[in-house]
Structure 1
C-alpha cells in the first residue's frame, strides 16, 4: 500500500500493484500478446454470456419450458458456475491460471455448441451444465490472468479488461436486436467454436521451476479484509443483475415499451459501463481507488433514484445509463484489491508461490460474483412483485454501503 497525494493536496491511500520480487515492472511484445489474449477471453466471455441470456425467450419456446422450470435451470447454472470457480482454483494451484483459462474456454465452447445444436431438452440441459461450469472457470481464471498482468506491469489493468467484457456484451446485444429470430444452431453454436479456438491463445504462464506447493497456506491471508472487499463486489452484482435482468421488464410493465424494444434499457447501461471502464485505469492512477469507489456508489444511488422516480421511459433509460457510469468501475477495482491484498500477505515470496496464492484467493473471491447475482435477480423481483419501482429502491439503498466499505481498499 502507498500513500498518494490526491486533488487539493489531500492524501489518499490506494493499493500499490507490485512487480514480482527481484524484478521491476516489465513490458514488451510478449507481455502485449498476453494482454491481448486476456482481453480476447474477456470479450468472448461477455459476448457468449449475453448471447445466451438474450436467447432465453427462444429457448423457452423451443423446449416448452414454463417460467418456473427456466428459473430452476438458471439457478442450477449459477450453482455450477460456483463449482467452476473452485475448479479454476484447483487447476491454477496444480498448473497455473493460463491452463485454467484454456480449460474454461473449452468447457464454454462445448457447452454453447451443444446448447445451440441440442435436439431435445435432455441434451440441452447437459450442455447448459457444461457451460455453467465453464462460465465459472473462465470468470475466475480470466481475473487471475488480469491480476497477474497487473502485478507484472505494476499498474492497474482490470478496468480495461472488464471493458472488453462489456464490449462483448454490447456486441451480443446488437446482434440479438439484429438477428433475434435466427435459430440457435446458426446464431449461437458458431461462437462456441470460436471459444475452442481461443484455447490456443498465449496466456501468461507461471514461471517454471519455482515452488508453488503450499503457497496459499504458507502465510496468513487477511480474510476479514477480503470479506469487506467481497461485500462491495456483492453489492455491485446486485445492482448490475437488477439492471440487466429487470431493466427491460421495468420499461415494459411501467411504461408499455414494446417487447422488441426493451433492450434499450440494457444497451445504454452497457455502453456507459464500457466508457467508465475504459477510463478506469487512468482514473485510478490519478485519484486512487477509494475516492473513485465512493463517487461510484453515490452516482449509482442517484441513478437508481432517477429510475425509481422516472415518469417516462426516456427518463428511466437516462437513469440506467447513469447507473452504468457509476457502477461500471466497481467490479474491476474489487478484483484488483483482492489480488493486491493476497499478494501483499506473502511478503517476499518468489513469483511462483505468490501467483499460486493470489490465484487461489481470486478463485474463492469470485464466488461473491454469484452471490450478488442471485440477490440482484431474486430480491429485486420479490420486493418489486407489486411494482418494480420498489424492486429498484432496494439496490438504491444498499449500494450506498460501498461508501464506508471503500476503506477496505486501502491501508488504515
Structure 2
C-alpha cells in the first residue's frame, strides 16, 4: 500500500484562518480595555493601581512573547497559536468572573501571557502566509485586528447595561478560532538550539526595523492612553465624546490597512512609510495646535491613517531579513514582537511625563519622534518583493505570480541585509 501524503492547508484557507486570529485578538483586547472603568468600580481600584495592573499585563505579555521565541524553534506557529488562543479562552472568564482580587490578578496574568503568545504566533502565521503568496499581505491581516477591535468597542457599547460577567461569553470566540486551518511548518530544524545563532541572523537591520516599530507603538499608545484625556482637558470636548480620540483613529487605520497590500505592491514599502510618517507628523501638529476639539479629532483621525501600516510592514521586514528556514523566521518574529511592548510602555510614559504641565507638549514628543521613520524606511526596501524561497499559490488559491512579470519581480528582489 502506498504511503499517503500528509494533509496540506491551502494558502487561501490559512490566510482566512490567520485573519480570524488577528480579529479575535483585537476583539478580546478592546472588549477588555473598554471595560476598564467597570473593573475599576468593581474592585475599587485607584488610577495608580489600575496603571500598575496594566503594567503587569504588558510585562507578562512580553514574557509570553519570550516563551513563544523559545518554543518556535521546536514547534510550529500553528500549534503555538492554538495553545495561546485556548489559554486566552481560560484567562478571559477568569478575570471577568473573579470573586476575589487574587483570582482577578491571576486572570490578568493568564490573559497577559496568552496575549504575548497569540501576538507573536499570529505574526508568525502572517509572515508565513505572506511568504507563500509572494506578495504583501500583512497590512490587510493587521487590518482584521483593527476590525476586531472596532467590533469589540461596539459590543461594549451594546452591552453597557449588562453585568461585567457577560463579557465572559466572548471566550467562545478564541475556542472556535483555535480549530481553524493554520499553515503548518513543512521542515523541522535539525538543531533547534542553533536556530538563532548570532552569526546566522542579521540582527543589525532587524533592530533598525524594530526601532521603527517602537516609534509606531509609542505614537499608538500615546493616542490610546492620552487622546481621550487631551480632548476632555485641553480642548474642552464634552465628556460623552472623548472616545472620538480613538474611534475615528481606528476607522482610518482600518481603511488604510485593508488597502495597504495594494499600496505597498504599487509604490513600495519605503515610499509608503515615508509618506505615512510625514502625514502622521502633520496630524500630530494639528492635534498639538488644535484650537477646538473637532480640529483635534480631525488630527487623531489623520494620524490613524498615517501610521496604519508601520507595524505590519515591520513584521514583514523582520521575517524577510531573517531569511533561512521557517523555524528561524518564527523565532526572529517572536523576538521582534517584544519591540511592541517596549514602544507601548515608552509611549505612555514619555507622553505623560512630557505632558505633565500640558498635554500639548506631551503630544509634541511623538510628533517629532515619528519623523525618525523617514530615514529608517530605507531598511524596509526588500519588503515589497516575495521572500526568498516563497511558494506562490495556484491561481485558484488567490492569484499566481508565475507570469513573466512576476518572475522578473522575483529576480530583482533580494533579502535585506
* TM-score normalised by length of structure 2: 0.87
Are 1:105 and 1:196, in contact at CA under 8 Å, matched by a contact in 2? yes
Indicate the residue corresponding to 2:308 in structure 1. Answer: 328
Pairwise CA distance, 1:209: 6.2
Which deviations, in whole Å up to 9, do the C-alpha atoms of 1:7-41 show, x marking residues without a partner? xxxxxxxxxxxxxxxxxxxxx98221111110000
Give the 5 Å matches for 1:273-312: 273-312=253-292
For residues 226 and 163 of structure 2, the distance between their equivalents in structure 1, rounded to whole angstroms, comes to 25
For residues 358 and 154 of structure 2, the distance between their equivalents in structure 1, rounded to whole angstroms, comes to 29
Which deviations, in whole Å up to 9, do the C-alpha atoms of 1:97-150 show, x marking residues without a partner? 001111111121111111121112111100000000011111100000000011
For residues 358 and 259 of structure 2, the distance between their equivalents in structure 1, rounded to whole angstroms, comes to 35
Indicate the residue corresponding to 2:331 in structure 1. Answer: 360
Q: What residue ranges of structure 2 are gaps of 5+ in the alignment?
A: 1-7, 382-415
For residues 103 and 257 of structure 2, the distance between their equivalents in structure 1, rounded to whole angstroms, comes to 38
User: Would you say 1:145 and 2:125 are equivalent positions?
Assistant: yes
Indicate the residue corresponding to 2:384 in structure 1. Answer: none
SS in 2 for 1:257: coil
SS in 2 for 1:94: coil
Indicate the residue corresponding to 1:369 in structure 2. Answer: 340
Indicate the residue corresponding to 1:205 in structure 2. Answer: 184
One of 248, 272, 279 as aligned partner of 1:268 = 248
Deviating beyond 6 angstroms after TM superposition, the runs of 4 or more aligned structure 1 residues are: none
Are 1:113 and 1:193, in contact at CA under 8 Å, matched by a contact in 2? no
| Count of aligned positions | 375
Indicate the residue corresponding to 2:68 in structure 1. Answer: 88
Indicate the residue corresponding to 1:70 in structure 2. Answer: 50
- Residue range with higher mean Cα deviation, 247-256 or 222-231: 247-256
SS in 2 for 1:65: coil
Are 1:284 and 1:292, in contact at CA under 8 Å, matched by a contact in 2? yes
Which deviations, in whole Å up to 9, do the C-alpha atoms of 1:360-383 show, x marking residues without a partner? 100110000000000111111111
Indicate the residue corresponding to 1:215 in structure 2. Answer: 195
Pairwise CA distance, 1:278: 0.7
Pairwise CA distance, 1:210: 6.3
Are 1:297 and 1:400, in contact at CA under 8 Å, matched by a contact in 2? yes
For residues 282 and 187 of structure 2, the distance between their equivalents in structure 1, rounded to whole angstroms, comes to 49
Which deviations, in whole Å up to 9, do the C-alpha atoms of 1:194-232 show, x marking residues without a partner? 212221111111115664633333952111111110000
- Residue range with higher mean Cα deviation, 283-292 or 214-223: 214-223
User: Would you say 1:165 and 2:136 are equivalent positions?
Assistant: no
For residues 187 and 321 of structure 2, the distance between their equivalents in structure 1, rounded to whole angstroms, comes to 24
For residues 182 and 242 of structure 1, the distance between their equivalents in structure 2, rounded to whole angstroms, comes to 30
Pairwise CA distance, 1:386: 1.6
For residues 121 and 72 of structure 1, the distance between their equivalents in structure 2, rounded to whole angstroms, comes to 14
User: Would you say 1:254 and 2:234 are equivalent positions?
Assistant: yes
User: Would you say 1:409 and 2:380 are equivalent positions?
Assistant: yes
For residues 64 and 128 of structure 1, the distance between their equivalents in structure 2, rounded to whole angstroms, comes to 16
Are 2:188 and 2:327, in contact at CA under 8 Å, matched by a contact in 1? no
For residues 361 and 157 of structure 2, the distance between their equivalents in structure 1, rounded to whole angstroms, comes to 29
Which deviations, in whole Å up to 9, do the C-alpha atoms of 1:235-266 show, x marking residues without a partner? 00000111111111111112333333211110
- Residue range with higher mean Cα deviation, 381-390 or 327-336: 381-390
Q: What residue ranges of structure 1 are gaps of 5+ in the alignment?
A: 1-27, 347-353
